[in-house]
């Protein structure tokens, strides 16, 4: 029997990287924006980003903010999604010596942090090597 966090983490419906796309010039943004810095339009729509991409660069975070201390050190990657949009995200389930520029990655939902005041577990997107 799956525990509740495992069940929800495995539901593909919750894995959605949402950005915004300018209806006038086609520029895509992540995180979403209210206006297009490319053409100045405010005519943007919600845009579902691809869940796969390639690793362009990475760094090791050794002194994180308090919410992420339990994960230190961890890898932050600069990822180019399959549509060309570039984002920064944590890379997990990979050894440091396995990281290489151009490696294929896919988005997953994982525990991000626990809110101090409420104890609520916040899940975030991270990237793992593509299978």
pTM over 0.95: no
Res 65: pLDDT = 85
Res 124: pLDDT = 85
Res 6: pLDDT = 56
Residue 64 lies in a domain: yes
Half-sphere exposure of 81 (CA within 13 A, CB side): 19
Q: What is the pLDDT of residues 78-119, one digit of tens each?
A: 999 999 999 999 999 999 999 999 999 999 988 877 777 877
For the sheet with 18-22, list strands across it: 28-29, 18-22, 44-48
Q: Minimum mean pLDDT among 11-15, 67-71, 100-104: which range?
A: 11-15
Cα separation, 46 vs 35, whole angstroms: 12
Cα separation, 120 vs 111, whole angstroms: 11
In terms of domains, do 69 and 83 share one? yes
Q: What is the CATH number of the domain that holds 102?
A: 2.40.50
> Rounded to the nearest 5 degrees, what angle is found at the Cα of 19, between the Cα atoms of 71 and 105?
50
In terms of domains, do 42 and 57 share one? no
Tokens of 26: 């086609």
């Amino acid at each position: 029997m799956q525990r509740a966090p495992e069940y929800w983490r495995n539901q593909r419906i919750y894995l959605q990287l949402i950005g915004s796309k300018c209806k006038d010039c086609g520029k895509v943004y992540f995180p979403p924006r209210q206006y297009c810095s490319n053409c100045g339009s405010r005519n943007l729509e919600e845009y579902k980003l691809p869940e796969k991409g390639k690793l362009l660069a990475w760094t090791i975070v050794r002194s994180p903010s308090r919410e992420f201390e339990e994960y230190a050190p961890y890898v932050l990657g600069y990822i180019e999604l399959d549509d060309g949009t570039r984002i920064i995200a944590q890379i997990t389930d990979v050894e440091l010596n396995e990281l290489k520029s151009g490696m294929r990655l896919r988005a997953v939902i994982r525990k991000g942090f626990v809110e101090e005041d409420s104890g609520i577990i916040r899940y975030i997107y991270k990237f793992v090597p593509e299978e």
